[in-house]
Amino acid sequence: MEALVLKLVLTPVLVGAASMAGRRWGGGVGGWLVGIPFTSGPIAFFLALEPGPHFAADAAVGILAGTVSQAAFALAYAWVALRAGWPASLAAAAVAFLAVTAVLKLAAAALSVTTVLVLASLVLAIRVMPRARAHDEPAPRLPWWDIPARMLLATAFVIALTEAAPALGSRLAGLLAPFPLYATVLAAFAHRLQGAEAAIAVLRGLLLGLFAFAAFFISVALLLVPAGIAVAFAVAVAAAIVVQAGSLLAGRALKIA
């Protein structure tokens, strides 16, 4: 019940906040904001309480590995978006995510190897992301139902995926948990209403935000068993906040976001 309430409350609040931040400061900031593990973080916490710390620590490594799948999602969507609309872009991104997830499921790796793979994939993805073409046209006036629709759709996605996760097994559930549901909603709406450039900006911001995502789950996987739930998640939250702030500053300095 607690998990369901969390999904029903946190999901629309986060998507609404990210959408408004995107309107105020640009899509890159909205994408960066949803890189924080607002969904998979609580999932890992509830796993630590119920099956136990060992199970949750193993799942955290799987969730961390899913960062690579998110990077593949962002790249596929961005490149297809240069020549196609949001349905084709989203389909290509989902295929890319699932293909990488299938490979990761077959090739499970230790935390150290997973960490190196994740960081390398994020750096590479940022380097090869297409550059959104600059334009001077004013942003279009968005319909009144834009943000409520984003919130409703994202909440439905989160509930459907997390309800199906237990039947998939711990490893596969961990790999699927990082599916970028929030970024999917933000990018698809931005693409539909504002064009491919806006969607690419969202996904570029997502890649920056995923460094904090990685920091969170590296901390959980390292500390959960030896230090306990309270210490592990406190350190993970602190690490994510520090890395999140640093990634935005670095992105602004390098003109990435």
In a domain? residue 121: yes
| Residue 152 falls inside a structural domain | no
Quick one: the chain helix, strand, coil %, rounded to 5?
A: 80, 0, 20
HSE-CB of 50 using CA atoms within 13 angstroms: 10
Residue 126, domain member (yes or no): yes
Tokens of 4: 């369901």
Task: Name the DSSP class of 129.
Answer: S
**Alpha-carbon span 35 to 85, nearest angstrom:** 23
By the 10 Å C-beta count (0-12 exposed, 13-18 middle, 19+ buried), 152 is classed as middle
Q: What pLDDT does residue 90 have?
A: 93
Euclidean distance between CA atoms 112 and 105, whole angstroms: 17
Q: Are 191 and 127 in contact (CB under 8 A)?
A: no
Largest CA distance in the chain: 55
Sequence length of the chain is: 257
Considering just the CA atoms, what is the radius of gyration of the chain in Å? 17
Are residues 129 and 207 in contact, defined by beta-carbon separation less than 8 angstroms?
Answer: yes
Q: Is the CB of residue 168 less than 8 Å from the CB of residue 176?
A: yes
Domain span holding position 212 = 2-132+194-253
**Per the domain annotation, does 100 fall within a domain?**
yes
- 138 inside domain: no
| Residue 125 resides in a domain | yes
Q: What pLDDT, on the 0 to 100 scale, is given for residue 221?
A: 92
Q: What local confidence, expressed as pLDDT, does residue 220 receive?
A: 93
Structure tokens, 159: 């509930």
Q: In which residue are the tokens 């629309």 written?
A: 12
Whether 173 is covered by a domain: the verdict is no
Per the CB < 8 A criterion, the answer to whether 239 and 231 are in contact is no
With beta carbons less than 8 A apart as the criterion, state whether 99 and 235 touch.
no
Cβ atoms of 213 and 37 closer than 8 Å: yes
Given a cut of 50, the residues of the chain with pLDDT beneath it are 134-138
Provide the pLDDT for residue 80.
95
Alpha carbon distance 243, 219 (integer Å):
12
Write down the pLDDT at residue 166. 64
CA gap 111, 22 in Å, rounded: 34
Structure tokens at 61: 């490594």
Q: Is the Cβ–Cβ distance between 43 and 162 less than 8 Å? A: yes
| 141 is a domain residue | no
Residue 73 has a pLDDT of 95
pLDDT at residue 135, as a whole number: 46
Q: For residue 188, give both structure tokens.
A: 């698809």
When divided into structural domains, the chain yields a total of: 1
